[in-house]
């Protein structure tokens, strides 16, 4: 994503470039805030007051920002927020609570990506002439919706990976014993595996980057095909 933004510097006027960067930052805020808020609200509804006690029961992005995670969003196009602190022992139903909390964030991002895809198509249809004339207002929303699709799908797919400490691992670990070999392996090496997966070792791209190029394109194409039925 950094390469994309840098590539725009010489291609668009300074005002348009600043508009695009702001749209990207705002899309990050929305994707992260809703993801973490979904975790917090679900845990709270399942009986755990911990997220509320730590001030995470909010859509305020500054309550959820992780410095390194935010930097990775700008550099690589995917990153993370501060994990929501929960105490599963407070859940009224332990396994049900763990499953719901694990899935709430990724489902929220998937729904947001779907909504943003519809808004992007609407902007492209209704604002085509304004986009061609470099209308800053329409350009902002076009890029904001486009980034919203990409970043929400990135967060959704990234967190579905069964690697500690991601949501996919927490979901899977709910049904496995603590002394399970896979669980213990992930507790020990999960961060290393993630680091290898996200660092751009391959011609400026990462293992996950190549994976995202196919999966995000496939999912977003399906969304656009759906919304295209109405225009």
The catalytic site residues sit at 36
Residue 173 burial (C-beta neighbours within 10 Å; 0-12, 13-18, 19+): buried
Tell me, letter by letter, the H, E, C secondary structure of 151-210: HHHHHHHHHHCCCCCCHHHHHHHCCCCCCCHHHHHHHHHHHHHHHHHHCCCECCECHHHH
Using DSSP's 3-state secondary structure scheme, residue 132 falls into helix
């Amino acid at each position: 994503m950094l390469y994309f933004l840098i590539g725009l510097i010489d291609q668009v006027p300074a005002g348009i470039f600043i508009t695009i960067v702001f749209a990207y930052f705002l899309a990050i805020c929305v994707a992260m805030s809703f993801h973490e808020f979904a975790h917090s609200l679900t845990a709270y509804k399942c009986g755990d007051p911990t997220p509320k006690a730590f001030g995470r029961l909010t859509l305020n992005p500054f309550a959820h920002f992780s410095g390194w995670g935010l930097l990775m969003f700008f550099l690589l196009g995917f990153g993370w927020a501060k994990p929501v602190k929960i105490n599963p022992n407070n859940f009224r139903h332990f396994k049900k609570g763990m499953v719901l909390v694990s899935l709430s964030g990724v489902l929220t991002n998937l729904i947001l990506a779907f909504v943003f895809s519809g808004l992007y198509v609407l902007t492209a249809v209704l604002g085509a002439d304004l986009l061609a004339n470099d209308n800053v207002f329409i350009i902002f929303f076009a890029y904001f919706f486009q980034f919203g699709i990409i970043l929400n799908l990135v967060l959704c797919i990234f967190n579905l990976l069964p690697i500690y400490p991601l949501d996919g691992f927490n979901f899977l670990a709910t049904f496995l014993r603590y002394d399970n070999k896979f669980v213990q392996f992930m507790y020990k090496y999960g961060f290393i595996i993630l680091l290898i997966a996200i660092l751009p070792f391959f011609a400026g791209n990462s293992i996950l980057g190549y994976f995202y190029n196919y999966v995000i394109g496939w999912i977003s194409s399906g969304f656009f095909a759906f919304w295209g039925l109405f225009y």
